[in-house]
Structure 1
Amino acid sequence: MIRLFGVRVRLSPLFLIVILFAYFGHVLDQVAILFAVVIAHEIGHIFAAHRFGIKTESIELLPFGGVAVMRGRLGFDVREETLIAAAGPFVNLLFVIATLPLRASGVLSEAWTNSFVSINLSIALFNLLPALPLDGGRIARAGLALTRGYHSATKVVTRVSFLVAVVLMGIGGISLVLGYADLGIFALGLFLLYSAFSLHRQSRYETLRFLDALRHQQMATPRPIRSMLAQEDMKLGDVASQFSPGAYHVIYVQSTYPKEPRPVTQDEILDAIFESSGWTLPLRALLS
């Protein structure tokens, strides 16, 4: 088991297959560059997460990046999520910028520079696709969650992930038919398809994790209040699924009787969900 800054690192089977093909194809030098670039990409995420007090427990390295397991409030703060996700591609772009003047001065060969720049740009651009669990998908979800809520934002980006996966698999399949034999794109599409199915199955669990983090979030700074209007027979879980990161929610419950809507706070709803198993309870249960 490799350790990087105290983080457990392991190679995915897909990366091991790439190394095997590279060995028989006599291109191990290219894979060595790829390995170094992927490691640097993940170091960017590790340092950015550490900056916000989020611990990275382990990383699985893939040929196009890595899948990090982090513990903390990752994903539940828009600014933090965006900066941590962008840190990986940012490192790749920094490498490209630093390499060009070295090539111009003759320090690096043209062949090595072209390979290094191509690998960095490929990893950066692929990771910025708006599909989970890629960096671009995390950034897209963080942005959408501000207005649509965390649960809805996750569902939208998961649908986009399915679409991106199908497109990549289609491109890979067409390339095989045309004789280009590029399994890489097809494999990336297959990985995203598997990830999208996993996210779809775990959507309720992800929402509960977000709501639990929201419930225990300390208000070190003032937060904007987000007001919502809901019918009294609406389930608490359906209401909480519309909660957004970075805001405090006040729900005005519209009764069937002709009277003013009564406000119910975010804390009341979350306490009922987690302490009384109230996910399916109607809002009227909090009015009595």
Structure 2
Amino acid sequence: MISYLALFKKMKVNPLFWFVIGMGVLTGYFREVLMVFVIVFVHEMGHAVAAHFFRWRIRKIELLPFGGVAEVEEGGNRSFKEEVIIITAGPLQHVWMMAVSYGLVALEMWNVSTYQQFLWYNVTILAFNLLPILPLDGGRLMQLLCMRFWPYRLALRRTVGLSFLFLTVAVCVAVILYPFHLNLWLVLAFLIVNNYLEYKQCHYRFIRFLTERFYIGLSQQGKPHLPVVVSAHQEVSEVAKQFRRGVIHTIIVNDAKQKRTHYLPETEVLRALFEAKLPRAPLSTIIAK
């Protein structure tokens, strides 16, 4: 229990959320702002508790006007199942919050007006978080789906591309329907900046993914094996770009010159990348050793 309480120390309110809270208080909407804060807080704690349960290393939990972001120190090698549970743990909190609010109305502890308002905020925040835009929950689920079909590096780039596409659609809708909605434009501006940073960090995340596989290791127990077929003249770094999340790779090297096929564990490629510092070397160099 004490370890779960320690999660509160990692909680941080984003300056954008403080601005929204301040605007709400100044304009006489304190109750509404309090409702939003409680909903966002519970939503994000759902993510945090689930991550802590699976022993993910949580760096910080940042509250935003539309949800939050839990920063974890993981390199993308944890199981898909764990991450799906952690991502969906946030949206699932809205279900019981709406059920409790209905119960409060039934017990006449809340009036219908308060219930409808609380329900509206819940549905709005839930729906917004499920949009396929990073770093929203919908965007993170989309990223996991991409990683199911493509290598890790390619999945990162395609997720950012799709996220930018959906974000562009959201901006167009805002221009047409809500051109003067200040809070919405602040949130969209945050998402635009965040997506740009996601794009810039793609290479860093890919290197961290490979580094963790090599230095920390990837348990082979229960992991499916997926062969990667390459030619002997391909560079080490190009082969590493084909590595996928959640699987163990065996590198099948077709050597046309020697008319032979060689088999390498993925650790040999990673060793050439990080220990031997030979990212541009052809695989034939590793085989020769």
Please indicate, yes or no, whether the TM-score normalized by the shorter chain is above 0.5.
yes
**Cα distance, 1:156 vs structure 2:** 1.2
Query: Where does residue 120 of structure 2 map in the other structure?
Result: 118
> Structure 1 185/19 Cα, relative in aligned 2: closer, same or farther at 3 Å?
same
CA distance in 2, matches of 1:160, 1:210: 21
| Structure-to-structure mapping, 1:31-180, within 5 angstroms | 31-73=33-75, 76-177=78-179
Query: Is the contact between residue 251 and residue 263 of structure 1 (CA under 8 Å) also seen in structure 2?
Result: yes
**Cα distance, 1:73 vs structure 2:** 4.9
Runs of 4+ in 1 over 6 A off after TM superposition: none
> Structure 1 69/100 Cα, relative in aligned 2: closer, same or farther at 3 Å?
same
Query: Where does residue 221 of structure 1 map in the other structure?
Result: 221
Count of residue correspondences: 283
CA distance in 1, matches of 2:132, 2:90: 15
Query: Is the contact between residue 48 and residue 61 of structure 2 (CA under 8 Å) also seen in structure 1?
Result: no
Query: Is the contact between residue 132 and residue 195 of structure 1 (CA under 8 Å) also seen in structure 2?
Result: yes
> Which residue identity does 2:271 align to in structure 1?
D
> Which residue identity does 1:191 align to in structure 2?
F
Does residue 197 of structure 2 align to residue 195 of structure 1? no
**Cα distance, 1:41 vs structure 2:** 0.9
Structure 2: stretches of 5+ with no match in the other structure = none
Query: Where does residue 275 of structure 1 map in the other structure?
Result: 275
CA distance in 2, matches of 1:176, 1:119: 17
Query: Where does residue 240 of structure 1 map in the other structure?
Result: 240
TM-score, normalised on structure 1? Answer: 0.90
Query: Where does residue 31 of structure 2 map in the other structure?
Result: 29
> Structure 1 73/208 Cα, relative in aligned 2: closer, same or farther at 3 Å?
closer
Query: Is the contact between residue 141 and residue 150 of structure 1 (CA under 8 Å) also seen in structure 2?
Result: no
**Cα distance, 1:62 vs structure 2:** 0.8
Does residue 17 of structure 2 align to residue 15 of structure 1? yes
> Structure 1 259/167 Cα, relative in aligned 2: closer, same or farther at 3 Å?
same
**Cα distance, 1:168 vs structure 2:** 1.9
> Structure 1 159/276 Cα, relative in aligned 2: closer, same or farther at 3 Å?
same
- Secondary structure of the structure 2 residue equivalent to 1:261: strand
- Secondary structure of the structure 1 residue equivalent to 2:134: coil
TM-score, normalised on structure 2? Answer: 0.90
